[in-house]
């Protein structure tokens, strides 16, 4: 028997479920009010996830550009992280080699 495990990423479970307050600016208010009128949530609360779903449905080209930019920045950061880790490793290797040479010369 195969067991199905549901996995949710952190964004889906934390940030995307936060209720958005429309009082922080005109554009935010417009988005919250629009999504609220389209989805009509029972509790009247609009979450980040609801806004994302509405944008994906009604304005996918915008969301695609944001997603691509996010992916590129993440990929770029990963390359920087790998480069920094390799540099760190090279420094540690050099220190270990120097230490080993000093110990070998004392014998």
Q: Domain check: are 54 and 72 in the same one?
A: no
> Residue 68's pLDDT band (boundaries 50, 70, 90)?
very high
Number of folded domains that form the chain: 2
Q: Domain check: are 3 and 44 in the same one?
A: yes
Q: Which residues of 81-100 are buried (b: 16+ CB within 10 A; e: fewer)?
A: eeeeeeeeeeeeeeeeeeee
> What average pLDDT does range 45-61 have in this prediction?
95
> Residue 7's pLDDT band (boundaries 50, 70, 90)?
very low
Q: Domain check: are 72 and 52 in the same one?
A: no
Q: Domain check: are 48 and 69 in the same one?
A: no
Q: Domain check: are 66 and 38 in the same one?
A: no
> Residue 2's pLDDT band (boundaries 50, 70, 90)?
low
Burial class of 35 by CB neighbour count within 10 A (0 to 12, 13 to 18, 19+): buried
pTM of the model as a whole: 0.62
Domain that holds residue 77: 60-107
Longest Cα–Cα distance of the chain, Å, equals 81
pLDDT at res. 10: 56
Q: Domain check: are 40 and 81 in the same one?
A: no
Q: Which residues, 6+ apart, have CB-to-CB distance to 19 below 8 Å?
A: 45, 46, 47
Q: Domain check: are 34 and 77 in the same one?
A: no
């Amino acid at each position: 028997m195969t067991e199905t495990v549901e996995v949710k990423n952190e964004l889906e479970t934390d940030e995307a479920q936060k209720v958005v307050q429309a009082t922080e600016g005109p554009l935010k208010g417009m988005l919250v009010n629009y999504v609220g009128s389209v989805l009509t949530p029972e509790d009247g609360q609009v979450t980040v996830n609801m806004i994302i779903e509405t944008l994906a449905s009604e304005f996918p080209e915008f969301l695609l550009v944001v997603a691509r930019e996010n992916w590129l920045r993440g990929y770029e950061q990963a390359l920087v992280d790998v480069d920094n880790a390799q540099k760190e490793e090279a420094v540690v290797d050099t220190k270990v080699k120097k230490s080993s040479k000093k110990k070998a010369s004392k014998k």
